Amino acid sequence: MTVVTDNPKNEVIECACDQQKPAIDLQDRRWKLVNLTMKKHNYSPKALIETLHVIQDSFGYIDMDAMRYVAQQLRVPVSKVFGVVTFYHGFTCKPTGEHTLILCTGTACYVKGNDKMVEYMKQKHNLDPNQTTSDNKLSFMTARCVGACGLAPVMILDGQIVGKLGVEDMQAKIEEWLNHANQ
Ligand code: FES
């Protein structure tokens, strides 16, 4: 992170955390989408906002590791990425719930009936996309195509991509989370 100090020369000091290696799983299809976006723009710093949108849409939030990774790839200071993420309302740094269910709302997943899942979350848990239960146990988010269309309908359960699941599977997973939280 770039830190401007109160020194007579107005030196800009690069913080060591800019150099930290971010924990990114490059085999994750979502990161492949992010990398494709940056590559398409030749890793230009101008790709920053679009890249952040892809991360937000694919993961549901943009954490510090993601910010560091993008900063390194696009050769911009982490402080700049952090500033953009925290300035725009469309970006969030983390899900607020203890557990996060992200539902892909891309075309292939829609065709496979993910609208029933959106409806289930509304009826059963009173959650619209990007909302968290009042006890902070469960965040429900949506993402655009996460690059796993062959597994449609796809959801991401606490960061893990799973596919070909129905409403009953979703229900079982949520109950497991909520019951475990109550123990
Ligand atoms: S549309 Fe859902 S993974 Fe592609």
More confident position, 65 or 11: 65
User: What is the pTM (predicted TM-score) of this model?
Assistant: 0.62
Q: Report the pLDDT averaged over residues 85-93.
A: 84
Q: How far is the CA of 19 from the centre of ligand 1 (A)?
A: 33
Q: Report the pLDDT averaged over residues 132-152.
A: 86
Pick the CATH number of 99-181 from 3.40.190.10, 3.30.365.10, 3.30.565.10, 3.40.30.10: 3.40.30.10
More confident position, 91 or 1: 91
Q: Check residue 19 and give its pLDDT.
A: 59
Contact indicator for 96, 140 with CB cutoff of 8 Å: no
Dig out the tokens for 100 from the structure.
């996060």
Side-chain-side CA neighbours of residue 93 (13 Å): 11
CB distance 154 to ligand 1 below 6 Å? yes
Distance CA 152, CA 58 (A): 15
pLDDT digit string, tens, across residues 69-80: 999 999 998 888
Domain ranges of the chain: 2-87, 99-181
CB distance 156 to ligand 1 below 6 Å? no
Please give the order of strands across the beta sheet that includes 99-104: 131-132, 138-143, 99-104, 155-157, 160-162
Confidence class for position 182, pLDDT limits 50, 70, 90: low
CB distance 161 to ligand 1 below 6 Å? no
Distance CA 183, CA 175 (A): 12
Percent of the chain at pLDDT > 70 equals 87
Please say if the pLDDT value at position 154 is more than 60: yes
Q: How far is the CA of 70 from the centre of ligand 1 (A)?
A: 23
By most ligand atoms within 8 Å of CB, the mutation choice from 57, 146, 165 for ligand 1 is 146
By most ligand atoms within 8 Å of CB, the mutation choice from 103, 145, 155 for ligand 1 is 145
Window from 2-6, 40-44, 71-75, 147-151 with minimum mean pLDDT: 2-6
CB distance 107 to ligand 1 below 6 Å? yes
